[in-house]
Amino acid sequence: MALSQTELIRSDDDPSVPSRPAASPGSTAPRRARRSLGPRLLPYWMLAPAVIVLALVLGYPLVRLGIMSLQEFGLRQQFGARPPFVGIENFRTIFTDSYFWDVLWRTVIFCAVNVALTMSLGMAIAVLLGRLGRWMKLAVGTSLLLAWAMPALTATVVWQWLFDTQYGFFNWVLTSLGAESYQGHSWLSAPISFFSVATIIVVWMGVPFVAFTLHAGLTQVPSEVLEAAEMDGAGGWQRFRLVSFPMVKPIVMILTALSVLWDFRVFTQIYVLQRAGGINRETNLLGVYAYRISIGENRFDVGAAVALVMVTLTILLTLVYLRQMLRHDEVV
């Protein structure tokens, strides 16, 4: 029951009436601190289970890989022999091997070419999707979605048959057009044509994601700004270069970082094409090279060292991606 003003004054004068203790200013501080600290920690508590699962699933293989790269681990160790510790000897072996550097530079060049083609074609298709009619846009979008959803192994096998020596579609078309030299031509026996086929497969699978994402970004460009640029005399290319592209540039940077990360770790396409007739030594990339050293030559220690170098480079590329993502968040 609330006290009246008179009763409050009387309770202050009369010592027999118990008075309410005055709340000290500091007594509410811990409660307020707890209330303000709770919402701040809530996202971290929600992320904790996923972080723990990732640490268990990815942490142990990485630690095991690091330990194996510092040991002598061959076929004998597979049958229970104790692996001796050799320190950085495995890394010295790969860093002093000229073939390792050939594979590394081959991987970097292959990745750069694929990323450039993927981003260029993805941007072109994204712009095209914005200018197509409803039904054509639906047809092109469905085709891109099917190409993106196809597993890497399935897509590689399909393209392998298209470039097959005896029954390939491309050899048949070129022969029908009068190029008799392509009768029974092997596209996988030479490094240049081998990587050309691999590039077609990788770009064909990477373009849909880039095109869809960039198309979504281009649809967010204000039409008023484009109309104002058109009224000022800007053509289609100028509107794209000076208005649309700067607005989607953060998305382009993030997609480029992701494409580099994905194309640097290409394995399935190269391995399947090598099994179909490619020359292994002249077409190895880092992922396939590490696999062949470990499984094919039973040099699991050297293969672990190559894989660890690849993981390190991948982490560096991931940091670049995270940096671009944070920049994008700051812009937004």
pLDDT at 122: 92
The CB density around residue 296, as the number of other CB atoms within 10 Å, is 10
SS3 85: strand
Pull the structure tokens for residue 317. Answer: 């590329």
Question: 257 with 314: CB under 8 angstroms?
Answer: no
Residues 6+ apart with CB under 8 A from 61: none
Q: Is 70 exceeded by the pLDDT of residue 193?
A: yes
d(CA 39, CA 46): 11
Instruction: Read off the pLDDT band of 20 (50, 70, 90).
Output: low
Q: Looking at 8-12, 192-196, 225-229, which range is the least confident one?
A: 8-12
**Whole-angstrom distance, CA of residue 115 vs CA of residue 121:** 10
pTM of the predicted protein model: 0.79
Interval 148-166: pLDDT, tens = 888 888 999 999 999 988 8
CATH superfamily of 68-331: MetI-like (1.10.3720.10)
Q: Between 245-264 and 98-129, two packed helices, what is the crossing angle to 10 degrees?
A: 140
Identify whether the C-beta of residue 121 lies closer than 8 Å to the C-beta of residue 203. yes
Asked if residue 310 lies in contact with residue 287, where contact means CB atoms within 8 angstroms, the answer is yes
The residue extents of the domains of the chain are 68-331
Share of the chain residues as helix, strand and coil, in percent rounded to the nearest 5: 75, 0, 20
- Please report the pLDDT score of residue 133 as a whole number: 80
Question: Token pair for residue 84?
Answer: 């001796």
When mean pLDDT is compared over 129-133, 186-190, 239-243, the highest value belongs to 186-190
Q: Cα torsion at 23, 26, 32, 36 (round to 10°)?
A: 170
| pLDDT band at residue 6 using 50, 70 and 90 as cut-offs | very low
3-state secondary structure 236-285: HHHHHHHHHHHHHHHHHHHHHHHHHHHHHCCCHHHHHHHHCCCCHHHHCC
Written as six digits, the tokens of 306 are 């190559």
More confident residue, 235 or 7: 235
Question: In whole angstroms, how far apart are CA 180 and each of 173, 176, 187?
Answer: 10, 8, 15
pLDDT number for residue 332: 56
Please say if the pLDDT value at position 248 is more than 70. yes
Helix (H, G, I), strand (E, B) or coil at 71: strand
Sign, CA dihedral 221-225-227-230, equals negative
pLDDT exceeds 90 at position 197: yes
Count CB atoms within 10 A of the CB of residue 100. Answer: 19
pLDDT band at 32 (very low <50, low <70, confident <90, very high): low
pLDDT tens for 91-119 read: 999 999 999 999 999 999 999 999 999 99
Q: What is the pLDDT of residues 202-231, one digit of tens each?
A: 999 999 999 999 998 888 888 887 778 778
DSSP letter at 294 equals: I
Q: Are 163 and 197 in contact (CB under 8 A)?
A: yes
Among 152, 162, 134, smallest CA distance to 202 is for 152
